[in-house]
A = this chain, B = another copy of it.
C-alpha cells in the first residue's frame, strides 16, 4: 500500500467511527411532517420521489392537490402502474389567475382539506402528500391554526409532505424536516418553455 493510500484509509477509519457513533445515536422512528418550500423547482417533484420510494416498500400512499387543476400529467399516468396502492385527488381548479373567482378557489381548497382529513383517518395510508397546501394557507383559504393542529395530531406512523412556496412559520415550527428549494438558475429565464415529461 502506498503512503497516500494508507493515509486515506486511516482518515476514513476515523471518519467511519464518527459516522457510526452518529447513526447509533439516532434511534427514534416516527411518521414525519415534511415541508418542501422555497422559490426553486423540485418541491412537488421531490414529493413524487418520496411517493415512488414508498410505493416500492409496498405502502399505500395518498396525494391531494390543492391548487393544480385537472390537466393531464406524467406523474398521474405513471402512478396508475401501482393500482390501488395510490389514491390521487386533483381538487384544485388551476391558479388563482385562471379561475378569477376567489369564492370558487376557497370552496375547492376546503373540499380538498376534507378529502385530506379522510386520508389521514385511513389507517392503511402511510404517506400523504398535500401538494400546494402552502398556497392555500398563504391566501388564507384555510385556517392555519386548524391545519397545523390537525397535522400535529396525525397518527404516529403517518408521514405527511406539504409543498408550496412561502410555508407559514407555524407549519415550519410543527415540521420534522423542512427543505428550502432555492433557485440558482432557471431555464425559463433563457426562454425555454415548460416541457412535457419535465414540468408536467
Pair B172/A26 contact, Cβ less than 8 Å: no
Interface hits, A24-42 → B, CB 8 Å: 25-30, 32, 35-38, 40-42
Measured CB to CB, the closest approach of chain B to A182, in angstroms, equals: 4
Interface hits, A16-54 → B, CB 8 Å: 16, 19, 23, 25-30, 32, 35-38, 40-42, 44-54
Q: Give the docked Cα–Cα distance between A42 and B59 (Å).
A: 20
Pair A5/B42 contact, Cβ less than 8 Å: no
Q: Give the docked Cα–Cα distance between A181 and B98 (Å).
A: 30
Pair B53/A48 contact, Cβ less than 8 Å: yes
Measured CB to CB, the closest approach of chain B to A2, in angstroms, equals: 9
Q: Which one, A110-118, A144-152, A189-197, is touching chain B?
A: A189-197
Q: Give the docked Cα–Cα distance between A172 and B1 (Å).
A: 37
Pair A178/B172 contact, Cβ less than 8 Å: no
> How many copies of this chain?
2
Pair A5/B102 contact, Cβ less than 8 Å: yes
Contact with A195, one of B29, B42, B74, B78 (Cβ below 8 angstroms):
B29
Pair B50/A198 contact, Cβ less than 8 Å: yes
Contact with A75, one of B8, B23, B28, B53 (Cβ below 8 angstroms):
B53
Pair A188/B49 contact, Cβ less than 8 Å: no
Closest to A181 in B: B179
Closest to A30 in B: B192
Interface hits, A133-165 → B, CB 8 Å: 159
* Residues of B contacting A185 in the complex (Cβ-Cβ under 8 angstroms): 172, 175-178
**27 sample A-B contacts, Cβ–Cβ < 8 Å, listed by A number:** A16-B97, A23-B194, A28-B190, A32-B192, A32-B195, A36-B42, A38-B182, A40-B180, A41-B179, A42-B179, A46-B46, A49-B49, A52-B78, A53-B78, A55-B78, A56-B74, A56-B77, A56-B79, A57-B77, A81-B82, A159-B197, A176-B190, A178-B183, A179-B182, A180-B181, A181-B182, A182-B182
